[in-house]
Amino acid sequence: MKVSSKTILGFLSIMLVAMVILGHQLSAIHQMQAVNRDLSEINVKSATTVLEMQKLAALLGEDSRKYFAGRDPIYDEQIAGFRNDFLEDLVRLRQTANSDREQAQLAKLREALDDYWLVFNRLKQQNKTWDPDELPPDLTLAVNHLEAQAEVMLDAVQVAIKERVAEAAKVGGNAERVSWIAGLFSLLLGIIVAVLIVRSINQPLRRLTQGTRAIAKGQFWHRLPARGNDEFAELARDFNVMTERLGELDQMKKDFVSHVSHDLKAPLASIRQVMHLLLQEIPGSLNEQQKNLIRLNYNSAERLAAMVGNLLDVSRMEAGTMEYRIAAHDIVPLIQDVIDEFAVQAREKEIRFCLESEQASVFVECDRERIVQVIGNLYENALKFSPNRGEIVTRVGQGKAREILISVSDSGPGVPDDEKSRIFQKFHQLRRGKNVAGHGVGLGLAICKTIVEAHRGQIWVEDNPNGGSVFLFVLQPAAREEVLSCGQTV
């Protein structure tokens, strides 16, 4: 039996007492449901579509800049695809637009898109390249007009939503007044009916709550039981379809990142090799200005290669194919090796590295290369955000339950309390007052967290009493037998 049928049967006795009042109440509820259905099925979808169109407008501007900088046909194809997507969104909006204002703004938005397309094709026929940092003036105006019109369209949709919400509020106010009257006659019986209804829907709601929390955590394989023919069973089936689609989209995203990152490795390696040969002056001598320009390009290629490497690591971690070669290693010289690698960067900013350890040798169970990656990522962040003539202090000591505690302290701006847990999420970056040169894509700390947790440890951040941040992580100590087998003593 459906939940609505149970509700009707439960309130039959109340309807005998106040038939007219309850009839009005049911009519009001029906109107509110219709308004809410319009909001959820039409207006909200329209708002989502407009937001997607805003993104498409931004992508059109970005790809136009890239196309006119190098005349790459790939960007030409992408621009055509984005335009087709934009046109499809316009068709969907035209089907759901209810007000005259929305229809008028739709026409203007279509005119803005057509204007952009005409300007783009006209400039395309000129077969002229432009500065990679800016669009041609005419195309800049067309793109700005398109983005502005998309913003106006979003305002029109929001106004329509507000009008529907106001209508729902008005109907709700009337229903509330009638409810007070009906409640005076049916309070006791209403309580009994409410108890029965709550009992029948409590369990499905609890399962739905658990399911939404699981999806919020990225567990797209979670499914709800869909037995029965009531509304909750239908909702469970729709929920399962949604999670299946989300899982497919998530896998497509992972595959895309993995494939693109892998395909970028080969051309990046070639670029780095060519730059290296030029800096060695093998093809011929260079003046100092040319060397500086090539060195800047080489450093940019190195940063891009590091980003691609991080993307590949994240793809392997998400796919569960990351391999770890766990063995006993002395963490103190391992950290010193990483410090030596960053010595040149530290000297450029006059930053001093300091390594403190309670013991001369501290053996841990770890994959040496992966822990080097963790420490390197922490040092890279510390160097990036620490001021000139600062100090980066690394301490190795004893943690709880014989764990080995490693901390890296810097003198940078620190991490706000509300960001301390979020900075270890993929693609999350701190929002600061100004951009930092060489800023990454927000994968370093996420990779550190995955690696440390794979070593049965944990990583977190605290405030440095002297200013800045302290990143701490723990590793498991190596067993005595393992250390001795490596020819070391404890």
pLDDT computed for residue 318 by the predictor? 60
Q: Is residue 429 part of a domain?
A: yes
Q: Which amino acid is at 403?
A: E
Stretch 210-230: mean pLDDT, rounded?
Answer: 76
Residue where a domain terminates, one of 217, 234, 266: 217
Residues 32, 65, single domain; the answer is yes
Residues 311, 336, single domain; the answer is no
CA atoms of 303 and 440, how far apart (whole Å): 8
- Tell whether pTM > 0.75: no
pLDDT computed for residue 474 by the predictor? 92
DSSP per residue, 34-61: HHHHHIIIIIHHHHHHHHHHHHHHHHHH
Residues 303, 336, single domain; the answer is no
What residues form DSSP beta bridges with 328?
365
Residues 340, 295, single domain; the answer is no
CA atoms of 39 and 161, how far apart (whole Å): 7
pLDDT computed for residue 308 by the predictor? 63
pLDDT computed for residue 269 by the predictor? 65
Q: Is residue 287 part of a domain?
A: yes
What residues form DSSP beta bridges with 357?
396
DSSP per residue, 348-368: HTTPEEEEEESSS--EEEE-H
CA atoms of 129 and 67, how far apart (whole Å): 8
Give the closest residue to 112 by CA, choosing from 84, 157, 147. 147
pLDDT computed for residue 247 by the predictor? 74
Residues 114, 8, single domain; the answer is yes
pLDDT computed for residue 354 by the predictor? 92
Stretch 269-282: mean pLDDT, rounded?
Answer: 71
CA atoms of 128 and 138, how far apart (whole Å): 14
Q: Is residue 278 part of a domain?
A: yes
Residues 199, 289, single domain; the answer is no
The segment with the largest mean pLDDT, out of 90-104, 264-278, 341-355, is: 341-355
Residue where a domain terminates, one of 319, 350, 379: 319
pLDDT computed for residue 393 by the predictor? 92
CATH number for position 274: 1.10.287.130
Q: What is the overall mean pLDDT for the chain?
A: 76
pLDDT computed for residue 147 by the predictor? 84
CATH number for position 146: 1.20.120.1730
Comparing 41-45, 172-176, 359-363, the range with the smallest average pLDDT is 41-45
pLDDT computed for residue 484 by the predictor? 46
State which residues form the domain around 428: 327-485
* Three-class SS state of 174: helix
CA atoms of 246 and 388, how far apart (whole Å): 46
Comparing 103-107, 246-250, 264-268, 361-365, the range with the smallest average pLDDT is 264-268
* Three-class SS state of 428: coil
Stretch 83-98: mean pLDDT, rounded?
Answer: 81
Cα of 28 vs its chain's centroid, Å = 41
H-assigned helices in 350-437: 368-385
Q: Is residue 226 part of a domain?
A: no
pLDDT computed for residue 488 by the predictor? 43
pLDDT tens digits along 252-261: 665 655 555 5
CA atoms of 277 and 42, how far apart (whole Å): 60
pLDDT computed for residue 208 by the predictor? 80
pLDDT computed for residue 427 by the predictor? 66
Among all chains, which residue has been given the structure tokens 């040798």? 361
Would you say residue 96 has pLDDT above 80? no
Decide: residue 198, CB within 10 A, 0-12 exposed, 13-18 middle, 19+ buried. exposed
Comparing 44-48, 166-170, 268-272, 396-400, the range with the smallest average pLDDT is 268-272
Stretch 208-223: mean pLDDT, rounded?
Answer: 77
Residue where a domain terminates, one of 288, 319, 350: 319
Identify which has the larger pLDDT, 111 or 8: 111
The segment with the largest mean pLDDT, out of 138-152, 219-233, 290-304, 473-487, is: 138-152
pLDDT computed for residue 472 by the predictor? 92
Q: Where are the beta strands (DSSP E) in 273-432?
A: 327-330, 352-357, 363-366, 391-398, 404-409
Residues 134, 209, single domain; the answer is yes
Stretch 212-240: mean pLDDT, rounded?
Answer: 77
Asked whether the beta carbons of 8 and 196 are under 8 A apart, the reply is: no
DSSP state of 476: P
Residues 73, 169, single domain; the answer is yes
Number of domains present in the structure of the chain: 3
Residues 281, 345, single domain; the answer is no
Q: Is residue 345 part of a domain?
A: yes
Contacts of range 72-77, beta carbons closer than 8 Å, 24 or more positions apart: 76/124
Confidence of residue 214 (pLDDT cuts 50, 70, 90): confident
Residues 89, 192, single domain; the answer is yes
Radius of gyration for the chain, computed over Cα atoms and rounded to the nearest angstrom: 31
Q: Is residue 33 part of a domain?
A: yes
Stretch 152-174: mean pLDDT, rounded?
Answer: 77
Would you say residue 326 has pLDDT above 90? no
Give the closest residue to 342 by CA, choosing from 297, 300, 384. 384
User: Beta-carbon neighbour count of residue 232 at 10 Å?
Assistant: 23
Would you say residue 434 has pLDDT above 60? no
* Three-class SS state of 17: helix
Identify which has the larger pLDDT, 183 or 408: 408
pLDDT computed for residue 210 by the predictor? 83
Among all chains, which residue has been given the structure tokens 């308004």? 35
Would you say residue 435 has pLDDT above 50? no
Cα of 116 vs its chain's centroid, Å = 30
CA atoms of 337 and 343, how far apart (whole Å): 10
CA atoms of 212 and 226, how far apart (whole Å): 15
Sign of CA dihedral 102, 108, 112, 113: positive
Stretch 120-138: mean pLDDT, rounded?
Answer: 76
Comparing 173-177, 236-240, 286-290, the range with the smallest average pLDDT is 173-177
Confidence of residue 437 (pLDDT cuts 50, 70, 90): very low
Stretch 424-442: mean pLDDT, rounded?
Answer: 58
Q: Is residue 239 part of a domain?
A: no
Residues 154, 254, single domain; the answer is no
DSSP state of 477: B
Q: Which amino acid is at 79?
A: I
Stretch 111-130: mean pLDDT, rounded?
Answer: 82
CATH number for position 355: 3.30.565.10
What residues form DSSP beta bridges with 366?
327
Give the closest residue to 445 by CA, choosing from 392, 390, 382, 374. 374
pLDDT tens digits along 441-486: 567 788 888 889 888 899 999 988 888 889 999 999 987 545 544 4
* Three-class SS state of 226: coil
- Six-digit token string for 414: 């620190």
Residues 36, 182, single domain; the answer is yes
Q: Is residue 366 part of a domain?
A: yes
Q: Is 326 left (phi over 0), alpha (psi -120 to 50) or beta?
A: beta
